[in-house]
Amino acid sequence: MTIATVSKSNQSAKGSITLNGSKSIANRALIIRALCAEDFPIHKLSNSKDTILMDGLLKSHSDVRDAGAAGTTFRFMTAYLSMQPGTQVLTGTERMKQRPIGVLVDALRKLGANIDYLEKEGYPPLKIHALDADSYRHGHSNQVTISAGTSSQYISALLMIAPTLPNGLELILDGEIVSRPYIEMTLNLMAHFSVLHQWDGNTIKVAHQKYQPRPFTVEADWSGASYYYAIAAFAKEVDLQLDGLFEDSVQGDSVLVEMMAQFGIQSTFNETGVHLTKTDADLPPVFEWDFIKCPDLAQTIAVICGGLGVQGLFTGLKTLRIKETDRIAALQNELAKMQVFLSALPKRFSPKSDKEYFMIEGKAVVNNPTFPTYEDHRMAMAFAPLAQLGQINIEEPKVVDKSYPLFWEDISTLGFVVS
């Protein structure tokens, strides 16, 4: 096992970081390019392991394609391969084989896809056969209903192949929509390549049409930016430039600007990105947020609350249990090592709501803790900023390669010592 020791001699956040491209945007752009009749350039493509993997799988001619631990890649490739000629097997790690895929497979089957489970029903690996276009035209509806409370990646996977379907797609989202900004991101990227849609209530309609090739630039990752906002939150002096971010962003995680203003972090946009400074504002007695639209920020904000001793009241965490790990359980385990506690509130707390609330209490006592990362890149990066409060240890630090391979090198430029 590899363990990184992380420390910092002061509480200053000064410097400039060029952030990695968003893998969420990059992976969508790669799928759209693969579905487009002509090639086009993608600038500032993410160098994340997930994006490199996606690019490689799309270019592969192998009958067996391995998506590893990449959930987004697996889901997008499932829909993409269902539209391709021939027969391919799509597999992944043992953890991936525990992550459900049945909702997406059921939807694709309704559209005419021919997909078999090779092991456990409803889970990877999959054997994906070519879609029968004639059968689709004559025997299958172009209307699919899918739970709106499921992963937005299932919905995005369906939307991106929609214009290539012979009759397009009418997608009905049943119930409360989870992670709506990720769906909007997908539709915005499709619109960039001239694919139009109608979204009326809970129904999204995409007619049969062609993607038009256009050069594309990938915005930097707001999830990645969150770790620098955490560094700023724990610092006493802040003069930090984060390059590559757009003020008018398609990423739901850009709500981070609004969130972190409550912790005294001021964001000023400029030509290359955003400049962070710190105000003298008092910390909030309670930080309350619904993460339903930005679940990837939950770990970072939980650590910020714990590190600063701010009570947190979180909801909208239900998708965290089916990520790379059960992120709620992982947070509970690791925060408790610092006398910070994350607990579910009893239903009587909000009897008129079906939302599940979690409370964060306590102020971190950082006494050289060792944090396992649970094969989850965000666990490593969310806990790293705590090194400003005392030396910490991170198990399997290379897990960050999934989304941000240069993370440890980048924070080293701000004075963190990683050994």
Where do we find the tokens 């309704």?
Answer: 110
Residues 6+ apart with CB under 8 A from 215: 40, 41, 42, 43
Q: How many CA atoms lie within 13 A of 75 on its CB side?
A: 26
Residue 268 exposed, middle or buried by CB count within 10 Å (0-12, 13-18, 19+): exposed
The CA distances from residue 372 to 1, 122, 392, 394, in Å, are 10, 29, 11, 6
Q: Provide the annotated active-site residues.
A: 296
Select from 39, 18, 75 the least CA-distant residue to 219: 18
Select from 65, 28, 79, 26 the least CA-distant residue to 48: 26
Do 322 and 104 contact (CB within 8 A), yes or no? no
Select from 292, 294, 299, 309 the least CA-distant residue to 334: 299
Distance CA 125, CA 106 (A): 15
Do 314 and 295 contact (CB within 8 A), yes or no? no
Select from 265, 172, 58, 46 the least CA-distant residue to 256: 265
Do 3 and 395 contact (CB within 8 A), yes or no? yes
Residue 127 exposed, middle or buried by CB count within 10 Å (0-12, 13-18, 19+): middle
Distance CA 369, CA 333 (A): 12
Q: How many CA atoms lie within 13 A of 397 on its CB side?
A: 17
Tokens describing residue 329: 């359980």
Residues 6+ apart with CB under 8 A from 288: 312, 313, 314
